[in-house]
Structure formats: C-alpha cells, structure tokens
Structure 1
Amino acid sequence: MTDPYQYYPTPEALSRKAWALFKNQQFARVLEPSAGEGHLLRPGPYQYGKRLPIDCIEIDIRKHAVLRDEGYPVVGMDFLQFQSGSVYSHIIMNPPFSEGAKHVLKAWEILFDGEIVAILNAETVRNPFSKERQLLLRLIEQHGEVEFLQEMFAGEDAERKTPVDVALVWLKKTSTFEQDILGNILDDLRQDRREADDLVGEFQLPHELALPNAFIDNAVLMFNAAVEAARQGVVSEARASRYRSMLGKTLGELSGGGIGSEDDSSSDAVKRMLFKRYHDLKNRAWASILRSTQVTSRLSTTAQKRLESDFETVKSLEFTVPNIYGFLQGIIDQQGEIQLSMVCDVFDLITRYYSDNAVFYMGWKSNDKHRTLGMRIKTTRFILPGHGSSSYQNGLNWESERLLADFDKVFALLDGKTEAEVSLVSVFRQHFRELRNGEWIGGSYFDVRYYPGVGTIHFFPKSKTLIDRMNRWVGRQRRWLPPVDTQAGQGFWQQFEQAERFDKAFHAEVKKQSKLEGRNYRFNPYWAINHGGASEREQGQRLLTQAMSSVLASRGIDPDSLLDNDQGCVRQLDWDGLPDSNLALAS
C-alpha cells in the first residue's frame, strides 16, 4: 500500500548527526515540523537536567498520541499552513522527500532568528530544476552549508530502508534585531494577521457547527491582534532595556548600594518572552472556544470535565481556523460516546448513594460464565441524599444545582430535546419556600419533594418511557442486556421487565441467604458492590446473584433459556437508540 505521507523514520545515527550540526547549542525553543513518531527527536539534548522542550507538527493524526506519550506537544498538523515561527530558535526536520524544498523554504520564511537543520533527498539539492529548489540552493550558498551522505536509510537502525542518498542541510537566519532594536524592529517581525475571507477559505463546515462562522473568524482575528500587540510590547520593553543600559548605572548602583537591572534586550531573551506571552494568549483563545460553544451548555458536569481534560492536548495546537474546525468536528464525531457517558454518569449517580433507588435483575450470561446482576432505576421514585439546607438559606447550594442541571440535560437528551422546558433548577429557585414546606412541585421530567432537614430530594419520574430508555441503554453498555443480534428467551425479558415486582421478594431472599451462610449482619451487599474493595464487591455480587437465582427459580423463570428457532415470535430488545439531539450542534 502506498504511504501518502512518505513516512521514513530517521535512523538514530542520522538523528545524532543532524543535532550535532547546530552551531548554537543554546536552545530557546525547538520545532520539528514533520515529527512522525519522534525518531529524530530522541537524541535531542538535555538542558538543566531536563529534556529539551520541542514542539511538533505531524500531518498524520494517528501519530499524535505517540508524540504526546513521549512528552512532545503537538502544535499543528500541516506545517505548510503553520504561521507561528518567530518564537523558535531552532528548527530540525526530516520532511517528505518529495516536498523537502517546500518545507525548508517554509521554515526559513517563518523563522525570525535561528538555525535550521534539514534531512533532504540529495537530488533536491543536486538537481535544482524547479524555482523552489533553485531558491533553496541560493539560501544554502548564502546562509548555510550542505553535507551529502550515503546509505543512511539502509543501515540496521533504519526502520524503513531505502538506498537514497541524503543531503544534510544547515542554514542560519540572522535578523537585523541588534541593529534595529533602536529603530523600527517591528518590520522584522512576521505579521500573523490575515483577512477574514482567507481565514474561512475551504474550511467552512455546514451550519450545524456549534459556533457561527463569524465568531470563529473574529476569535482568530482577535487572537492575531493580541499576538501582534504582545510582540510590540516585548519589543518596546527590549528597546527600553537597551536604552537604559546605554544610559549607564544609577549613582546608587555605582556606589554599590543599589541593585542593577539586567539588559534583557538580546534576541534570545525576546524570543523567550514572546513564547511565554504567545503561549498564554493561545491558552486563553482556545479556552474561549471551549467555553463559548453550545456544546458545554448541554454537557453534564462530569462530561464537561472529561472534555476539558482532553482539551489540555488540544490547546497546544496553533490557534487557526482549520484547527478550530477540526476540534469542533472531533466533538461532533464523538457525540454518541459523549451522550452515552452522560447517561451512564447520571445512572450511576442515582444508583450509587441510595440502594432503594434501583432494582436488580439477572444480567446476561457471558461466554466466560461470569454472571453479574444488572440494575434498573425505579420508574416510581428515587431519592438522592446530601442536599440539606439551613433555615436561613433561600436556595440550594451550587453543587446541588449542578446535579439538578445534569438531570435535566440527560433527560432532555433522552427525550430528543435540547433542554427541559421547566428545569429542576428553576423549580427550586422559584419555589424553594413551598418545597421546604413539603409541597410537590413539577418540572418537565420529574415531580419533586424536598426534605431540608435530612437533606433528601425525592424524584417522581413523569415518563416511564424515558426511565426505561435510560435503563436499556445503560444495560447494553454494561453488558447486562444481550447484544442486539442475540435472541434472548422469554424468561430473560420477563424478569427484566418485572424486576420491580420481584424487588420485595429479592430483598427478603438476600436477608435469608445472609443468615444461611452465617454472614455478619453488618455486611451490606448493596453498599459493597458500589463502594467496597475488590473482595467486598465480589462477595456482595455473589450473595445478590444467589438470592436473585432463588427468587426466579421459585417462580419458574429461567433467564438463560433461548428461543427455539421455530418459535413464531422473536423477542428482541426494544431499542431504537437515543433520539437525534445533536449534542455538539446548534439547534
């Protein structure tokens, strides 16, 4: 199969030669524009006992995880579209051989002041038939040097072998910074600002995106303006520092009684400060995208935390329109997984803290004969503790309101809607006095009663269909229910659907089984399966499973029986998935 990215990992011997070619071994910040899986970076130097910070660009997104696991930030995908090069002091690269000249010219274009080392196909330099190759040759003649090497990709340390000769190119770009620091230094700093029409280009996606195009365009323009303003500020500070040093020391400094100020107007100092401020602005810009999307308004608290955790890797990317759209598209592509996690989060919240909130049924028997019980949330009522309030309070605390908001988001999702018409948060805010006095108040999906003294909220579902939909989805996800293409017998579905009817007998049998096995009465199997250690969970699960088996057997129900092939009616799981609520999309 043809490799679209012409991926030839750099052998270690060649990597070491490349790093040794840098004349200035004081690295401020390094960029690798075609990083692959980081082979070229592994012999990279250490500074102050730590590995050198190296930013990576890699067009094959499948390799990003490998780079991040190695500790290298991924700041972009397509180097030829990359703009933010002025913060780097060194660029080292092994670009695709067919585009070697383009990549070196791009590196020269974006670099403000520093060195470039590139591993190229020797023919790129030896046969300058194109304008790009001719320009590269002139750069080498005027600003660098080249060494030709044979069989570097043919040795034992080459992961992919090829007999091609390589050209090891070194270039030094020197800005007029030192001369112009007293003049118009901004002329030597690359402008990042681009016109709005160019920003969108071919990267516009359909109107369903969570953010309007104008917002994205304006966000990028504001970011570029902020970067330019930061550059001007850094340069102004450097100019002031240079003038200050030219004026000489104060009398206090001359007499030894004062603390002198250091001159921080060098090129390296400016680049370090530029990187620090650029990184801060980029962090803020990406955070504004995450916080401004309609995605976050529909995420549960836990789901949002998971997204923000993933966002730590996203914010290292260059802040450009293509990268923003790529981030949003990634959320859209994962919306099914995000929705499933949200439903499971709320299910676990309901079942974790109050054992009477759920009823049990015999889960589907897996191939390894390991049997666990499945759980269903009750369709009549469930209770959540931990929401007490003092007599002087006129509302719930922030954590309790977040929980109520999560309930509304998930049940609106199950209902195929973007939000609840009457939210639980609004119910408690508008009717808190009535709720404290014991009244029933209704929201879109639940009637609620509140007991402030003990701190419990009682939820009475208005739709058994939505509760059942949650139970079935979680049951499939946890493998308590059979796969879609499996024909379960009537006994299985009977005990699943009538689990609430068997609940009283089940609890009685649990108590009986505890007595028969001589267990300590203080052992609570319901607590153990949710909060206990591994041995306690296993013990609790075994006791509950035995109790459920006895209850079902006493009623002549066999959950393991399968349907006969000639049986006329095939009972399948009534599952149509969740409604299309488009979690990550604007309505």
Structure 2
Amino acid sequence: MNLFSNNPDFFPTPNEVIEQMMLGEDYVGKTVLEPSAGSGNIVKWLQLNGNCNVVACENDPTLRKLLNGVCPLIGDDFLKLTAEQVSHVDLIVMNPPFSQGTEHIMHAWEIAPSGCTIIALCNSTNVNTTCYREYRQLQEVIELYGCSEFLGEVFSTSERKTHVNVSLVKLYKQADGEDEFSGYFFSQEDEDVANQNTKEGLMPYNVVRDLVNRYISAVKLFDEVMAASTQINKIAKIEEYSLPIYFTAVNSEDRSTTVTREQYKKELQKYYWNVIFRKLNMEKFATSKLHQQINRFVEKQSNVPFTMKNVYSVLNMVIQTTGQRMRTALSEAFDLICSLSAENSTAGETWKTNANYMINRKFIISYISEYNNRYPAPFVKLRIGGNKDKIEDICKALCFLTGTDYNNMESLSHFVYENQLAWGGWFDWGFFRCRAYKKGTMHFEFKDEKVWMMFNQEVAKERGWCLPQKNKK
C-alpha cells in the first residue's frame, strides 16, 4: 500500500526530529493531542518515551485505519475541533500539512486550554516572511508567547524526502486572571524533592523561589500601575485639548515606544532567565566557539514560562549535558593547538588528515605578543585581539579535565601586565611554562607531564583513537 500517492502533505516525522521537538519539555505522563497523526510516528514516540496519554486527529481515511488501536481518535479534521474537546490536554504536538501549517498552528493556539504547550513543525517561510497576513499573525503570536528555531532540511533523508526548510515553533499558553500564575511554585512534595536534590546542586532552592516570586510580583504591580496611569491620564486630559505629558510604560532602549502588558511580561521573563544562566555561569569553561551555542540556548530558553518547574528542568538539563560540552571544549582546544603550527603535533603539517596523532608537550602560538620598534617596550606586551583568547580557551578545557577552579586562575593578559615579564624569559602561568618573543609568538610547555598525557588521552577517547600510554619522544 502506497501511503504517499494520494496524500502530497504526508511526511512521516523521523524519530531524531521528534527528539529535537521535545527537548527540554515536560511531557512525561501528560495528555497530548496529535492533530495530524499520519501513520503515528509522533504518537508512538510519545507513548514509548514519555508514557503519554495521546489522543489524535487524522483526516486521511487510509491513515486512520493505521491508527486503529494505537490511540483514541477524537476527530477527523483538526480545524473543526473545538476548545471544549481539547480542554483536558497538556500539550499539542504536531507535524501539520506544510500547505496548512500556519492555519493549523493558529487554530491550536485558539483552542488550547490555559497552561498548554504547543509544539509544531512548519515550513520556514511561515515564520521568516511577511508577505501574507496569516504569516504576520503567526509571527506576532510567536514573538509574544513563544519561539521558533530553524531546523533546516530535516526531511531530506527521511522516509519521504523533501528539501523544504523546516522550523520548529513552540508556544506557551498561560492562564488568565487569578489563575495566571497558578503552578508557578512547587507543591510541598515537589519543594521537598527540590530541596533534597539541590543541597549540593547548581543553585539553592530559595534563590530560584525568590527569582520566580520577584517576576510574579513585578507583573502584578505592573497591572496596578498601568491601571493607575490610565486613570491619571483620564482625569488630567481635557477632551478638546491635547495633553503634553502621559503616564505610561516605555521601553528602556527606546523611550518613545509604549510597552504593553504582554511585552513587559515577555521581556521580564527573558531578563530572569538570563539571571539564571549568569548565576549558573555556564560559560565558565566554555570556549569561544561554544559561547555561540550557549547564547542560542539561552535565547531559546528565555521564551519558556518562568516557573519553578521549568527552571529545575533547565538545571537538570545543564547537569546532564555538562560533560559533553566540556569534552567538546577539549577537542576544540586540541584542534586549535594543532592548527596554529605544524610543530605543535606529532602529525606535523598533515594533522588535518592524519589520525591517532598527539599534541606535543611544547607548542607554539603565533600572533599573541606585540613589539613596536618605534616605541620599544622593555616588558612583554600582549597584542589586542590576536590569539590570547585562544590560550584562555585551552586553559578552560584543562580546568575541566583536572578539576581546577577556573575562577582561581589569573588571565594571561592580567598576569603579563602585573608581573612586567622580560622578553625571551621563561615564566609560569596556569598549566604552562611560557616564553614570549618580540616577533609575536609565545612558546608553551605543559608543566605537568600527567596533565599533558591526560589531555591527549581524553581527546583520543572522544574520537575513538588509540594513543600510547607513555610519552614518546
């Protein structure tokens, strides 16, 4: 049976794409609606990986037969579904027809109950262009209530192939009125678990609770102040004459722009998420290359409602991914050393294509020091920019490897400036003996042979290489 012949919009979702869709979301044990279930890929993944209670819709009669016994069907055409029919769902997860992506996402937003999370794939054109009114409406909803992420041609190697660029949309529908902030704090049972899990964790429980409380209090006070300012302006203004000054909320960067309640709430939410990530100090051991990845993660996470449960979900995610991030930092540091000079590794100039090579105990970094013949400096001076940040990246990776606190390590720039070091003389800094030359290079040698070998062995393990256990000259 050819499931694709009569359904041009049927593109089964690959498991790796579903994993991307659900990353960081609280879906285990929840009730989920799949509005365009197709052959059931998303349904089966949620049941298997999250023990979810999934209900679905599917318009295609042939595909509906495949879903028989897989999950309950609550309708054929999702676009005819009402809010009453989905009032019990916690999440709406879908890969809607590309030809109706915007329509399906907006309908999901309209009928979703308070507290519901909407996770959807769509053609990237829907979130990147403004040529159609429905596209602009979707983009406005995303701006205020969620986020979008470009995934690329994720169906180019799937069961049914297409080279359409795909984006992931996430929307968070919060409650209104008195119920708006219900669920933002833990129950007593959850509070006890959180306290127990964070005694030696990344962030104390009382700090998280205080930040969430500040956020909620500020939003509530915003409502009171805006109501008062509306009353002040109404009292002050004489109908036939324009008022020279108004009370209102404005954007901190552009004071001519009036801020609505939703804009204020969204910006404040992003602000507190950034506070969380600064307190986590996620960039403590991150190399320059990893900074970009972390910044994208922070930007994406800042659109998620600032509840205690969501904060702790992120804390758990950070803990689980720290090891991999640090191993990536070690590999980047290894490649960096090799790339700066052919003398830095046992592979020489062929290091990029060779395998099972090591960095040497002594290595050279160019374009790091600076000497001006017109204004000769008697002491070592580091170049502004250059490669000094790269050696800092290497030290961050080594701190992770050895369990050293990077906060206790003085930056190379500050160390050189404070100690007035002579050109061509050896000095100790961090993990290295160092020597700077007027031609712009600096030589480094691992002080501890064990650290040097650990570095090579850890990268070899990450890449599946077999390196000798002892030093080979």
Letter in 2 for 1:85: A
Match of 1:15 in 2: 78
In the aligned structure 2, how far is the partner of 1:34 from the partner of 1:385?
Answer: 53
Query: Which of residues 346, 361, 367 in structure 2 aligns to 1:385?
Result: 367
- Displacement of 1:281 in angstroms is 0.4
Letter in 2 for 1:17: K
Is 1:210 the counterpart of 2:208 in the alignment?
A: no
Match of 2:94 in 1: 37
Query: Which of residues 335, 352, 375 in structure 1 aligns to 2:357?
Result: 375
Query: Which of residues 206, 216, 221 in structure 2 aligns to 1:224?
Result: 216
In the aligned structure 1, how far is the partner of 2:441 from the partner of 2:404?
Answer: 28
- Is this contact kept in 1: 2:362–2:446, CA < 8 A? yes
Superposed CA offset, 1:286-336 (max 9, x none): 011111224432333333332222222211111122211111110110122
Query: Which of residues 379, 383, 390 in structure 2 aligns to 1:403?
Result: 390
Match of 2:122 in 1: none
In the aligned structure 1, how far is the partner of 2:203 from the partner of 2:182?
Answer: 26
Match of 1:85 in 2: 175
In the aligned structure 2, how far is the partner of 1:317 from the partner of 1:248?
Answer: 43
Letter in 2 for 1:211: M
Alpha carbons of 1:20 and 1:230: their partners in 2 closer, same or farther (altered >3 Å)? closer
Is 1:238 the counterpart of 2:226 in the alignment?
A: no
Superposed CA offset, 1:326-378 (max 9, x none): 111101101221111110111122111222111219x9xxxxxxx84343111
Sequence identity of aligned pairs in percent?
14
Alpha carbons of 1:234 and 1:19: their partners in 2 closer, same or farther (altered >3 Å)? farther
Is 1:6 the counterpart of 2:53 in the alignment?
A: yes
Alpha carbons of 1:283 and 1:394: their partners in 2 closer, same or farther (altered >3 Å)? farther
In the aligned structure 2, how far is the partner of 1:360 from the partner of 1:395?
Answer: 31
- Displacement of 1:282 in angstroms is 0.7
Q: Which runs of 5+ in 2 are unaligned?
A: 1-43, 60-75, 108-131, 147-153, 156-164, 250-257
Match of 2:463 in 1: 478
Is 1:110 the counterpart of 2:158 in the alignment?
A: no
Q: Which runs of 5+ in 1 are unaligned?
A: 22-31, 58-64, 87-107, 112-189, 265-270, 364-370, 483-491, 502-587
- Is this contact kept in 1: 2:347–2:354, CA < 8 A? no
Q: Secondary structure at the match of 2:80?
A: helix
In the aligned structure 1, how far is the partner of 2:327 from the partner of 2:337?
Answer: 16
TM-score by length of 1: 0.49
Q: Secondary structure at the match of 1:319?
A: coil
- Is this contact kept in 2: 1:359–1:377, CA < 8 A? yes
In the aligned structure 2, how far is the partner of 1:239 from the partner of 1:420?
Answer: 52
Q: Secondary structure at the match of 1:211?
A: coil
In the aligned structure 2, how far is the partner of 1:38 from the partner of 1:243?
Answer: 52
Match of 1:292 in 2: 279
Alpha carbons of 1:6 and 1:382: their partners in 2 closer, same or farther (altered >3 Å)? same
Match of 1:325 in 2: 312
Alpha carbons of 1:372 and 1:276: their partners in 2 closer, same or farther (altered >3 Å)? same
Match of 1:458 in 2: 443
In the aligned structure 2, how far is the partner of 1:352 from the partner of 1:234?
Answer: 58
Report the count of equivalent residues. 341
In the aligned structure 2, how far is the partner of 1:292 from the partner of 1:322?
Answer: 17
Q: Secondary structure at the match of 1:297?
A: coil
Alpha carbons of 1:340 and 1:260: their partners in 2 closer, same or farther (altered >3 Å)? closer
Alpha carbons of 1:342 and 1:195: their partners in 2 closer, same or farther (altered >3 Å)? closer
Alpha carbons of 1:440 and 1:327: their partners in 2 closer, same or farther (altered >3 Å)? same
In the aligned structure 1, how far is the partner of 2:293 from the partner of 2:448?
Answer: 29
- Displacement of 1:379 in angstroms is 1.1
Q: Secondary structure at the match of 1:72?
A: strand
Superposed CA offset, 1:195-218 (max 9, x none): 997994543323232222232222
In the aligned structure 2, how far is the partner of 1:193 from the partner of 1:74?
Answer: 17
In the aligned structure 2, how far is the partner of 1:332 from the partner of 1:238?
Answer: 46
Alpha carbons of 1:241 and 1:37: their partners in 2 closer, same or farther (altered >3 Å)? farther
Q: Which has the higher contact order (CA 8 A, sep 6+)?
A: 1
Alpha carbons of 1:402 and 1:355: their partners in 2 closer, same or farther (altered >3 Å)? same
Q: Secondary structure at the match of 1:35?
A: strand
- Is this contact kept in 2: 1:374–1:475, CA < 8 A? yes
Letter in 1 for 2:78: S
- RMSD over aligned CA atoms reads 4.4
State the structure with more CA Rg.
1
Letter in 2 for 1:5: C
